[in-house]
Amino acid sequence: MPSLLPPHAHLLFGPDQIQERVKALAGEIDSVYKNLDLVVVGVLKGAVHFVSDLLRGMTLDPCVEWVRVSTYREGTTAVSGSLIHFVGDLELVGKDVLVADDILDSGRTYQTLNPALLERNPARVRWAFLLEKEGACERAGFQPDFVGFHVPEAWVVGYGLDLAEKYRNLAGIYALEQTEDR
Ligand code: IMP
Ligand code: MG
């Protein structure tokens, strides 16, 4: 049974629209990486559905690796940072790397992970985001190579994206409206 919708949610993109867009992105990616040694690095957990549909939409047969980037904050004193957990050994020397993430928001994930990937001497690293939040490119200071959809500056859930670990299994993508209690 699908999970209940969160309160104050409105649909941004339905399942068919998402499938169609991800399939189109897969086609773009196919043409960019033709004849190259591609490794897709999926960012856990939010990009699981995106990576899975992207791979099934591609005609290339890339290696797939996974990474988890956790950001943490300590107390109220702006002590914060990010931790990278690679799943297995990431052998990237000379490879073309495509990082697939769920959403570009502050750019912290990109700023943390991109240098760590470059240290492994790949041929090149590109980034694909399913979603780009309004104003994110300015906040992040970079322009992603592939973007599925642009979304307003609201919290979004579904198709892998969560709110406190819920709603990842929704087939559509929903924006949560700001309410007094949130
Ligand atoms: P960043 O701020 O660009 O580093 O994005 C950090 C991560 O926060 C994303 O990869 C998502 O996992 C999560 N995130 C940011 N905005 C949202 C949102 O609106 N819904 C769900 N997750 C989000
Ligand atoms: Mg993420």
pTM metric for this prediction: 0.93
**For residue 180, is pLDDT > 90?**
no
What stretches of the chain show up as alpha helix (H) in DSSP?
15-32, 48-57, 108-118, 136-140
Q: What is the pLDDT of residues 149-174, one digit of tens each?
A: 999 999 999 999 999 999 999 999 99
156 lines ligand 1 (CB under 6 A): yes
Strand runs (DSSP E) across 35-77, as ranges? 38-44, 63-74
Q: Which residues pair with 133 in a beta bridge?
A: 151
Q: What is the pLDDT of residues 93-135, one digit of tens each?
A: 999 999 999 999 999 999 999 999 999 999 999 999 999 999 9
Atom 10 of ligand 1: nearest residue by CA position: 103
Active site residue 53: no
Atom 22 of ligand 1: nearest residue by CA position: 161
